[in-house]
Structure 1
């Protein structure tokens, strides 16, 4: 049994946070699935921007799209959808074996729509229609404007990966949006047992922002708190998950819990253990989506600590109390991270559109 299998036995499913045409056509994704026990795949605009900006793997499809005079938005999503379809097919066996919990592949709505509820809802439905696979998950950011879009998309019977969550307060709103979406889905006649959702909590970005502020403060008390905010934040989110989903009556009959997903799990500070956002966030009913470097670091370390989530809320709250005492304004941290999170995806997507526009015009 591999270390990733052991992690799965604790309750954490491992998904790969990367996808490209090269990974699929070379057989690399299938090899990683078989040898490293990954159970799904997540993507985002930055991942696709990187994939499509390198190499020649997309050239043939791009030539077809150019001949068809496709506009750049249509072309980029056609290439993204093809990758997601192929990945969904590769993970169809995992999807079947886990009754839909795993074997999932995520694709994100256009990040430029993050402040536009109607366009987010319409694009989510369009992506679900285009991919046309039961194991696709549509990623929607947890912005104020997108919370109703999450509800509406779930109400249409579409599984959703809610992304860019940075705070427990926002996560509570996401849970409310999920519950309401399932209630509406049931009322609309959808089989709620077929609808799955994850709530993607970003971890390392929290530490990066907080650590920078702690270093600016510079006291011994502040510096001693570096590298603790991200894990504490996720552990508090997990306690909220336990509290909110402990009563089966809180959801329609047959509905699934919305599992927490730990994202941004590659360490940004090389001084930290490369596997810390995995070993310190292992527990029942969770997902950890990892870049391949983090996945390999976990395998190389070869050691887990068991369930490191259950019963940790009190200590996590104490970390936040100490952060506040040295002058860290967590509300401001979260505000900055949410704004920058959307901006980074928009910038990456716009850069990709600009480069593809040039290719289509050649």
Structure 2
């Protein structure tokens, strides 16, 4: 095992892999990453599945059988993706059992074309929860305004949720409110709150990509590469505020578990930046960092883990956000653009996935 990854885990950061494929599962690669790289969870998204289906022959047999059965492309995609998620959940089940359900989790996203429809999102979440039928599943629901009621409803029904595509601090607070409301409704129904887990996926590198582009136009390059980490650090401060609230303390006393902040989009987009910056600079207890394998390998090799790199830097983070505002960066517009682009990108990947399956549904 990597000493650096051991140190990261020891700081209270759960290491999750931001990738899944049938090939990774059938070769035992995921099991190896669990043993050797401290991986204790897996996240997926439409882009990851579209990429997996475009490589190799791992899906050929199932694709053939689906074609022989004459299923439509929507059912085919659901069958293919849930098969992989169920398999990954079984591989991670020992981690889930060993950590009392804290880790060993696998995330599956609802159809991103439903991101602006609350009722259809919750219906899809219920269907996927039933279809995978594993206690260590997370259903990924996007943090759009329409996604908020779906988050509350899913949690209230005992469905564990990974809230995805969070960019703004205001939306993150709304997400935590939706999660708390769901727990309160679950408690009123008599559900065991200890069985309902949630994480909130706060995106990091995409914030820098968008703001850096604007800083170039504003002639303020000295501020580049600072916004993503500062934004995430302030998200953790908001998380701590909720953890100290009376509302949460009442739910905690009833058996509820925290909704952990999850740092997503941690692969560095700008080659001028350290390739481990979104891991090294976002270390704090009770968090998750989901990494593409390239980032995981980089951290294992030369990550700089030096204790808590979030809570001592709240003031610095606020100062950076103030400097960005003074420079002319419109934060509200940035996060709006990023949310819209995030939904559009996942929808485009979903359509690519549908097209790929359609082409390969050959008896």
Structure 1 match to 2:240: 242
Q: Structure 1 residue 201: deviation in Å?
A: 0.3
CA deviations 1:269-318 (Å, max 9, x no partner) are 00100000001000111000000000011011043121101132211010
Q: Which moved more, 1:61-70 or 1:105-114?
A: 61-70
TM-score by length of 1: 0.97
Q: Structure 1 residue 250: deviation in Å?
A: 4.8
Separation in 1, partners of 2:61, 2:162 = 30
RMSD: 1.1
| Unmatched tracts of structure 1, length 5 or more | none
Q: Is the CA contact (8 Å cut-off) linking 1:232 and 1:317 kept in structure 2?
A: yes
Q: Structure 1 residue 197: deviation in Å?
A: 0.4
Q: Which moved more, 1:250-259 or 1:149-158?
A: 250-259
Separation in 2, partners of 1:250, 1:259 = 18
Structure 2 match to 1:45: 46
TM-score by length of 2: 0.97
CA deviations 1:140-194 (Å, max 9, x no partner) are 0000011000000001101000000001100000000000000111112211101
Q: Is the CA contact (8 Å cut-off) linking 2:226 and 2:320 kept in structure 1?
A: yes
Structure 2 match to 1:307: 308
Structure 1 match to 2:216: 215
Q: Which moved more, 1:5-14 or 1:104-113?
A: 5-14
Separation in 1, partners of 2:298, 2:155 = 35
Separation in 1, partners of 2:249, 2:204 = 30
Structure 1 match to 2:101: 100
Separation in 2, partners of 1:344, 1:139 = 15
Is 1:230 aligned to residue 231 of structure 2? Answer: no
Q: Is the CA contact (8 Å cut-off) linking 1:19 and 1:42 kept in structure 2?
A: yes
Q: Structure 1 residue 355: deviation in Å?
A: 2.2
| Unmatched tracts of structure 2, length 5 or more | none
Q: Structure 1 residue 227: deviation in Å?
A: 0.3
Structure 1 match to 2:194: 193
Structure 1 match to 2:251: 251
Structure 2 match to 1:152: 153
Q: Secondary structure at the match of 1:91?
A: helix
Structure 2 match to 1:341: 342
Q: Is the CA contact (8 Å cut-off) linking 1:283 and 1:308 kept in structure 2?
A: yes
Q: Structure 1 residue 334: deviation in Å?
A: 0.3
Q: Aligned pairs, how many?
A: 359
Separation in 2, partners of 1:302, 1:117 = 40
Separation in 1, partners of 2:303, 2:202 = 25
Separation in 1, partners of 2:303, 2:347 = 37
Q: Structure 1 residue 251: deviation in Å?
A: 2.3
Q: 1:169 to 1:302 in 2, by over 3 A?
A: closer
Q: Structure 1 residue 246: deviation in Å?
A: 2.1
Q: Structure 1 residue 323: deviation in Å?
A: 0.2
Q: Secondary structure at the match of 1:312?
A: helix
Separation in 1, partners of 2:356, 2:239 = 41
Q: 1:280 to 1:359 in 2, by over 3 A?
A: same
Q: Structure 1 residue 113: deviation in Å?
A: 0.3
CA deviations 1:194-240 (Å, max 9, x no partner) are 1110000000000000000001112xxx2111000000000000000
Separation in 1, partners of 2:30, 2:94 = 14
Q: Which moved more, 1:64-73 or 1:156-165?
A: 64-73
Is 1:141 aligned to residue 139 of structure 2? Answer: no
Q: Is the CA contact (8 Å cut-off) linking 1:280 and 1:305 kept in structure 2?
A: no
Q: Structure 1 residue 249: deviation in Å?
A: 2.1
Q: How does 1:1-362 map to 2 (within 5 A)?
A: 2-218=3-219, 222-247=220-245, 248-251=248-251, 253-360=254-361
Q: Which moved more, 1:52-61 or 1:330-339?
A: 52-61
Separation in 1, partners of 2:29, 2:362 = 32
